[in-house]
Structure 1
Amino acid sequence: MLPAALTLVGAGRMGAAMLDGWLAAGLDPAGTTIRDPHPSDAVARLCESRGIALNPLGIVAAEVLVLAIKPQGLADAAPALDALIGPDTLVISILAGKTIADLKARLRRASAVVRAMPNLPASIGRGATGAVASPQVSARQRAGANALLAASGLVEWLGSEADIDALTAVSGSGPAYVFLLAEALAEAGVAAGLSPEVAARLARATVSGAGALLDASALPAGELRRNVTSPGGTTAAALDVLMRADGMAPLLREAVAAAKRRAGELSG
């Protein structure tokens, strides 16, 4: 169930995208407040047209306070944010690299905190978000947080905050890996004789189409792969290269390990 009252701090690309998803899911605009010192024209127009309070002068403790500012801005913003937190406020943070301990150290009034890590496809409602809750988050608050995060796509609740770094390396950074695959496939197409324009269009359609099929099918990815691989055929010849001992799987394991290691450094 979506909360009756919500304050969003930071209406940049991700914050504004999440707001769009919440409104589409039924969030009450009359109970919604946006605080952003430099809102975009699009956000200002949305607030005016939907009756959403934008940077009101009064300070009222929020039922749910969603933090979508830049992580490096937390220290400077903390006093103003703390004023928005009451004894029953749920704080949801999407600040990359900021742990629950970091948030509580800066926001002295914060008790119930959910740390979430969405990814870029959340901006079109197809995201993958990992979340972890502090012990003070009630069942009702967790259900409300889940409803908000699910408006942007899949939500996975983690058993431990220690898993956030691994999740960041897989789904947080993962879209970049897929975009790189599309780039590399297009470059391979050019090397095989296609024009750059044709290769780019084919690679984009192939990657997005395969992703849509994976989403629509209940079959595991491995089974879908086997279904399009005829023994001795062209796909099998390509997979013999990609699946060799030094191929795609070990390279991705190394890449994810590097991303996880860097996530730990940034949050440490």
Structure 2
Amino acid sequence: MSATVAFVGCGRITRAVVSGLVAAGGAPDSIRGVSRTGAGARALAGEFGVRAATTPAEAVDGADVVVLAVHPHEAPAALTTLAGVLTGGAPVLVSLVASCRTEAVAAALPGVAVVRAVPNVAVAARRGMTVLARGPGCPPEALAAARELFAPLGEVLTAEEDVMETVSALSGAGPALVARFAQALSRAGAGQGLPASTAEALAAHAVRGTGALLTAPGATPDAVVDCVASPAGMTEAALRTLDGAGLPRAVRQALDAAVALSLGRLLAGPGGPAGDAGPRTSVSAGTGE
């Protein structure tokens, strides 16, 4: 990473991104952070050696990329503050703010190139997935700068803004959903008499190994299931029980609930909630240009 990056907001996802960047060889002195109370920025500085700024103006001064990573309810005030400090020659603004469309960010920051990004927490281990969406009038070079920022942290895809709430629910929240399943799997193993530590290790490695299988070229979930499940075998019995207990339905309901919450608080522009987010379109591995 050769760019100077300023993080406005230093919570969980900022920590994950900074952790991955530093692990990938990013120079800590090229990374700055500023937070509302200062505590988050100081914690990042203490852990990773990055610079803790005391004001947003100090953080963004001379930065090539500014990453906005505040809670949704804090976004309007943060955007107002940034509008006062991102003046001529403004850097690329990458928004990690949930439930905040690029139109809202672009309207608050005229003349600033805006890209929305949804990384997941696995970027900390450089095994993450980040999905990017271009804001109104965003030039290709701004999208390229955002892609360069996240490329060392795992895979990067692009999508249209209209599907980003679903992206947030599936990919952003996905590690927590998978971890909850691993937790249930390990507890079930412990209930069968395994030591808890052994059951947890087996569940964790099942998830890790399956992830590697699923991300291999040409792999599909059905193919992974087929390579494990023998006819009339124990795996088939377990899968039949999961389906009978409503796992597919429960997962769909969980995703629906996450998307509904995000759409319900969506900030589409300076005036408030967006309402209908519009038609759904597909995620692409291309540049989005």
TM-score normalised by L of structure 2: 0.77
Match for residue 261 of structure 2? Answer: 262
Distance 1:207 1:20 in 2: 22
Q: Does 2:209 match 1:209?
A: yes
Q: Structure 1 vs Structure 2: percent identity of aligned residues?
A: 30
Aligned length: 261
CA contact (8 A) 2:82 2:109 kept: no
One-letter code aligned to 2:121: L
Cα distance per residue 1:198-251 (max 9 Å; x no partner): 43333233223322343456422211110111112111221222244x632232
Bigger relative contact order, structure 1 or 2 (CA pairs below 8 A, ≥6 apart): 2
Match for residue 152 of structure 1? Answer: 153
Corresponding residue SS for 1:219: coil
Distance 1:237 1:8 in 2: 49
Corresponding residue SS for 1:85: coil
CA contact (8 A) 2:229 2:235 kept: yes
CA contact (8 A) 2:16 2:121 kept: no
Match for residue 180 of structure 1? Answer: 180
Cα drift, residue 71 of structure 1: 2.9
Distance 1:258 1:235 in 2: 30
Q: Does 2:136 match 1:129?
A: no
Cα distance per residue 1:40-66 (max 9 Å; x no partner): 345146446xxx574477573643211
Cα drift, residue 114 of structure 1: 0.7
Cα drift, residue 115 of structure 1: 1.1
Corresponding residue SS for 2:87: strand
Change over 3 Å in CA distance of 1:32–1:256 after alignment to 2: closer
1:9-158 alignment to 2 at 5 Å?
9-25=8-24, 27=26, 31-36=30-35, 37-38=38-39, 39-44=41-46, 46-47=48-49, 52=51, 54-55=53-54, 60=61, 62-87=63-88, 88-105=90-107, 107-109=108-110, 111-158=112-159
Match for residue 7 of structure 1? Answer: 6
CA contact (8 A) 2:44 2:52 kept: no
RMSD over aligned CA atoms reads: 2.8
One-letter code aligned to 2:254: A
CA contact (8 A) 1:61 1:86 kept: no
Change over 3 Å in CA distance of 1:22–1:232 after alignment to 2: same
Distance 1:181 1:45 in 2: 30
One-letter code aligned to 1:228: V
1:237-256 alignment to 2 at 5 Å?
237-244=237-244, 247-256=246-255
Cα drift, residue 132 of structure 1: 0.7
Cα drift, residue 167 of structure 1: 0.9
Corresponding residue SS for 2:115: strand
TM-score normalised by L of structure 1: 0.82
One-letter code aligned to 1:241: T
CA contact (8 A) 1:17 1:123 kept: yes
Distance 1:232 1:222 in 2: 17
CA contact (8 A) 1:185 1:203 kept: yes
1:200-239 alignment to 2 at 5 Å?
200-216=200-216, 218-239=218-239
Cα drift, residue 93 of structure 1: 0.7
Corresponding residue SS for 1:154: strand
Structure 1 regions of 5+ residues with no counterpart?
A: none
Distance 1:191 1:256 in 2: 28
CA contact (8 A) 1:61 1:85 kept: no
